[in-house]
Structure 1
Amino acid sequence: MKLVCSQAGIGAAIIFVILVAVCLWLCKWLRKREENKAKQKYFKRNGGLLLRQRISLNGESSGGSLPKLFLKEELEKATDNFNEIRILGKGGAGTVYKGMLSDGSIVAVKKSNAVDKDQIGQFINEILILSQINHRHIVKVLGCCLETQVPLLVYEYISNGTLSSHIHGNLSHSSNPTVSKSELDDQILPHPVIILSWDHRVRIAAEIAGALSYMHSCASTPILHRDIKSNNILLDDNFRAVVSDFGLSRLLSVDKTHLTTMVGGTFGYIDPEYFRSGQLTDKCDVYAFGVILAELLTSQRVVTSNQPEDPGLVIRFTLALKENCIIEIVDPEIVKEVEDEHVIPAVAKLAKRCLNFNARRRPSMKEVAAELEQQGKMRQDMPHNESFQDNISPKSESSCSHTSDCTEEDHQNSVSHNEMHYDRKGSL
């Protein structure tokens, strides 16, 4: 009798264990099914079917690379489930995480904040266009993941932080732009802040101008960046400029001269004429580039939030030019370095042309690039040129004393049409 009871108890325990195992498996299966349904739903909502169709259509005729469709699990593993310690930067368009793919490639994964359903077609089109651009000074889009609630974009790795960081001496992981990257370690290690020589500032400006000229004039479909700023210019291992963050970019049909959009960009870099009219043209990027030229010349910030009476760098810069005292606002380190007294005014006047309030009077980026390249060649012909490493040095506190006080990061200044207030007296 006891043996029978014992066998019955063992049998009941086995059945109980089996039932628990079945229930756990069933719960896991149901959860997996729900996850797959959600992924399919997000994939469809984020334009995955359209992108897959476009990739299929373009695959036979395209000579360039096509964007890869990453799996959600791939990017979760690459970023340690989007661990906060992997955050490289945050901006108005999203958050960027460092990641390592299964093949060892180091990438930046941008998690968008949101995508307007009405703009999915354009979003997909931009991914296709940008992924096929092969320009040494434009960040490479490797692919995307559309199985998540918001789209994930995967970019190439760029190692030396942002131009803004080296101009203003605020290099840290929090100051990186939405596609900036850092070394893939357990922690994000800050890069050494470098004083960029005049020669290399001119070279960097020429590289940015060349990239924008390509986007405006040479790409199969003209691309308007719409958010050019020093915080969106990355520097690679050799401190070569790489234009990044196309979150606000727009494609311009070859038969059109402008687009009418809700104003977007970063305060201080937005073309006043675009802000007033809402008409986006290539000259909006020209204006923003002029602001970057002013930064490169002065090493001063575009806006200072702790000085409300300050009219901003653009006004101070143009007034200095008007009063024929540009040297007083130029970075003293540059003034010491440049021997030819005509060089700095020439670049300053080019910046002023880019900042012209009347967009029609601004030069094209092609003209700007040609003029800066000419400036670079003139410097190369001079006998005092040194190597890159001889022309850079770690930035000290004393060497930054002429710059404006630090402000909040540029991405906190990203604005929409409803957020920005532009004073007419700030017009050029």
Structure 2
Amino acid sequence: MHPLLASGKLDLQFLHDPIMAQPGCDLMCGDVEIPYPFGMKDPKCYAEEWFQVECKSNHTPYLKLINLEVTAIDVNISTVEVKNPVFHRKCHDGGKDSSLSRPKPTIEDPAGISLRGSPFVYSNKRNTFVAFGCNILGFLHSNRSVVAGCVSVCGPKEFTRLKKSVASGKKVNLGCHGKFCCVASIPSYLSEYEVTMEDIRNGSIAPGCDDYALIAKKWRKELTWMVNQKESELKKNVSHYAHAVLEFEILNWFNIEATNAECLKTNVTSSKMENSGWRCKCRVGFHGNPYIAGGCVVIRDRWYHSEGTPTKELMVGLLSSLGSIILLLGLRWLYEVERKRIAKKSRESFFKKNGGVLLEKVLSSSEGSFDKFKLFSLKELEKATNHFNVNRILGNGGEGTVYKGMLLDGKIVAVKKFKVQGKIEQFINEFVILSQIDHRNVVKLLGCCLETEIPLLVYEFIPNGTLFQYLHDQDAYLPMTWEMRLKIAIEVAGALFYLHSAASKPIYHRDIKSTNILLDEKYNAKVADFGTSKMIAIEDTHLTTIVKGTFGYLDPEYFHTSQFTDKSDVYSFGVVLVELLTGQKPVSFVAPDEAQNLASYFILCMEEKRVFDIIDKRIMWEGRRKHINAVAKLAKRCLDLKGIKRPSMKEVSMQLYGIWELQRNSRA
């Protein structure tokens, strides 16, 4: 609707109604409008087969080729709202003896959706992935890889109380923060997906196995519906649908006859091409349907004589409008002045609140290890990152987002912006730890900005991405050699040895993984992301905390006891070492069952004396078996289920360096 219509300042009789469908074609199916390029029945009514809508006997529209019910179409923003399946995991008895067997969870078919080859993708801006259940891992797969996932936890008693409340008719309102329910963002270009759900701990049973997963637009509403159904009603509604939003583009260009419209190249459905299709919109001052002749219209008729000359009423209106525009411009100027004043005051307030005055004194006196540390202004970092543009994002983590920036002197930096809903303790933790570290294989902290609610950290920019990217998306012209892998392992082990034993106070990293190991211009390793790290007293032997970490790298002993030790970092490093040896990902849901967890599969292969079957073929070709076997044995020790049996990082570092020396001498 035109903004003047929405405001009530313009009568509908003075507006040309835009043409939304081709001549002779139906526009409505039930209560849903079907504008061109969508259409029904006759091929002339739609642009191509993908846009064909079938209006079924109950006056319900469906996208015919992908069989999804349509609830709304908006050609102005190129979206289609559909009813998307909710996948319900049921439990079937795995045996007669309930004391020895456990229900086997399954997902009713279909367990996924495919839009492959179509002009439609699931909108990552307007949708979210949701999993609902008790002690489950919900995973979203696409193209045989995990693209999103989350964990939902609760105790059996909590779940029982929830079910009793629902059974008694009470309405239950849940947030979705990891208890009973969890959410995750979906990636761009998502044209197909499958859903899987697993129990979070082996041997435990999710009470009732009432687990659900879905991609939805308004997930809170859908979740409330599911929670407040009785179990008997849920079983009758396995095929319940949630509203989701698809984005579309025109894949096969056709002649757009609309005037007052503009069409631009887009890449909505593919990241591999500069443009994979087209999108159209009405020009400024027009509205309607940009894909059809007469679709974009403007308001004009009332204010002209039949011979085309302006009326007196129009002249009075123009003068009144001119006065209103001048008034609005004046008010806008005053608003901008006031906005800048408030923003400046807010920056000054945050600066003082975050300890900026004290830090300035420390920097001016050059005390401690702050000789090259700098306080950045928010304006400086906004200009460096193009106002934190999404195109500058280097990576997203649990604590925040990292952006690439260029300072006024041309220096490239990485700027970490913590999540707004996070705590300032996360910033303080990483700031304090990194300010104490001076090691060539740990990413360097250059400075910070204290003019925001959660301060920003500025690091040296590491240009060659992460070890994970380099291992699993290898460049054919610059493959990862055995020598490079061994060198990286030695550098990371040395950095962890420094953190555990040589820093002023022992530091536990707590999230060692290949995505937190960066590679500089010479492919030297740099350990990064200290948001969850902890500095402990020298006399302490462990740290008792809520379990945090990454699935596949997490120390099983820490998971069961909540006690993190230096040997927990050793376990995570052991997984990275196995990644370097095998070239395989730590978790793979497309692999056979026994090989889905890399660490467990590696230990199995070592015990069965067939470890060379899973070693990367390039390593087998370049390295000597005795050196490879020595590294494999060290990795096996790091992955021991009992932390006390694992070597220290000092021992790991020394053994890796010894293998390196043996290799060099054997070539001399």
User: TM-score under structure 2 normalisation?
Assistant: 0.48
Q: Does the 8 Å CA contact 2:399/2:531 hold for their aligned counterparts?
A: yes
Counterpart amino acid of residue 612 in structure 2: I
Counterpart amino acid of residue 359 in structure 1: G
Match of 1:363 in 2: 647
Q: What are the equivalent positions in structure 2 for 1:12-411 lying under 5 Å apart?
A: 26-43=334-351, 48-49=354-355, 52-53=357-358, 56=361, 59=365, 61-65=367-371, 67-114=373-420, 116-117=422-423, 120=425, 123-124=427-428, 126-169=430-473, 194-307=478-591, 309=593, 310-339=595-624, 341-383=625-667
1:110 deviation in Å?
1.3
Aligned residues: 344
Counterpart amino acid of residue 620 in structure 2: V
**Structure 2 counterpart SS, 1:96:** strand
**Structure 1 counterpart SS, 2:549:** strand
CA distance in structure 2 between the partners assigned to 1:198 and 1:354 by the alignment: 20
Q: Deviations over 1:333-359 (max 9, x none)?
A: 1112223x3111111110011111111
CA distance in structure 2 between the partners assigned to 1:221 and 1:321 by the alignment: 36
Superposition CA RMSD, Å: 2.6
1:28 deviation in Å?
2.8
CA distance in structure 1 between the partners assigned to 2:653 and 2:495 by the alignment: 9
Call closer, same or farther: CA 1:343–1:227 in 2, change over 3 Å. same
Q: Does the 8 Å CA contact 1:165/1:193 hold for their aligned counterparts?
A: no
Counterpart amino acid of residue 645 in structure 2: R
Greater RCO, 1 or 2 (C-alpha within 8 Å, sep 6+): 1
1:57 deviation in Å?
5.2
CA distance in structure 2 between the partners assigned to 1:323 and 1:109 by the alignment: 47
Call closer, same or farther: CA 1:326–1:52 in 2, change over 3 Å. farther
CA distance in structure 1 between the partners assigned to 2:398 and 2:428 by the alignment: 20
**Structure 2 counterpart SS, 1:82:** coil
Q: Deviations over 1:280-319 (max 9, x none)?
A: 2111111100000100110011001345834410011000
**Structure 2 counterpart SS, 1:352:** helix
1:150 deviation in Å?
3.2
Q: Does the 8 Å CA contact 2:445/2:458 hold for their aligned counterparts?
A: yes
Call closer, same or farther: CA 1:321–1:206 in 2, change over 3 Å. same
CA distance in structure 2 between the partners assigned to 1:52 and 1:251 by the alignment: 25
Return 5+ residue gaps in structure 1 as ranges: 1-15, 171-190, 385-428
Counterpart amino acid of residue 559 in structure 2: F
Q: Deviations over 1:129-185 (max 9, x none)?
A: 313422111000112223224332111011111111121116xxxxxxxxxxxxxxx
Match of 2:267 in 1: none
Match of 2:54 in 1: none
CA distance in structure 2 between the partners assigned to 1:130 and 1:193 by the alignment: 35
CA distance in structure 2 between the partners assigned to 1:81 and 1:345 by the alignment: 50
**Structure 2 counterpart SS, 1:382:** helix
CA distance in structure 1 between the partners assigned to 2:561 and 2:527 by the alignment: 26
**Structure 1 counterpart SS, 2:439:** coil
Q: Does the 8 Å CA contact 2:369/2:435 hold for their aligned counterparts?
A: no
Q: Deviations over 1:49-88 (max 9, x none)?
A: 1x65356458554145364221111110000011111111
Match of 1:404 in 2: none
Call closer, same or farther: CA 1:151–1:192 in 2, change over 3 Å. farther
CA distance in structure 2 between the partners assigned to 1:330 and 1:129 by the alignment: 36
CA distance in structure 2 between the partners assigned to 1:69 and 1:150 by the alignment: 15
CA distance in structure 2 between the partners assigned to 1:308 and 1:48 by the alignment: 51
Counterpart amino acid of residue 102 in structure 1: L
Counterpart amino acid of residue 662 in structure 2: M
**Structure 2 counterpart SS, 1:95:** strand
Counterpart amino acid of residue 437 in structure 2: I
Call closer, same or farther: CA 1:218–1:65 in 2, change over 3 Å. farther
CA distance in structure 1 between the partners assigned to 2:325 and 2:481 by the alignment: 72
Q: Deviations over 1:183-240 (max 9, x none)?
A: xxxxxxxx77732211221111000000011111111122111111111111111111
1:25 deviation in Å?
5.1
CA distance in structure 1 between the partners assigned to 2:505 and 2:494 by the alignment: 16
Call closer, same or farther: CA 1:36–1:123 in 2, change over 3 Å. same
**Structure 2 counterpart SS, 1:88:** strand
1:383 deviation in Å?
2.5
**Structure 1 counterpart SS, 2:666:** coil
Call closer, same or farther: CA 1:145–1:164 in 2, change over 3 Å. same
CA distance in structure 2 between the partners assigned to 1:257 and 1:55 by the alignment: 36
Q: Does the 8 Å CA contact 1:93/1:114 hold for their aligned counterparts?
A: no
Match of 1:398 in 2: none
CA distance in structure 1 between the partners assigned to 2:652 and 2:421 by the alignment: 34
**Structure 1 counterpart SS, 2:387:** coil
CA distance in structure 2 between the partners assigned to 1:369 and 1:115 by the alignment: 39
CA distance in structure 2 between the partners assigned to 1:143 and 1:281 by the alignment: 30
Counterpart amino acid of residue 80 in structure 1: N
**Structure 2 counterpart SS, 1:194:** coil
Q: Does the 8 Å CA contact 2:427/2:455 hold for their aligned counterparts?
A: no
**Structure 2 counterpart SS, 1:85:** helix
CA distance in structure 2 between the partners assigned to 1:53 and 1:125 by the alignment: 17
Q: Does the 8 Å CA contact 1:67/1:127 hold for their aligned counterparts?
A: no
CA distance in structure 1 between the partners assigned to 2:482 and 2:520 by the alignment: 18
Q: What are the equivalent positions in structure 2 for 1:1-12 lying under 5 Å apart?
A: none
Q: Does the 8 Å CA contact 2:418/2:427 hold for their aligned counterparts?
A: no
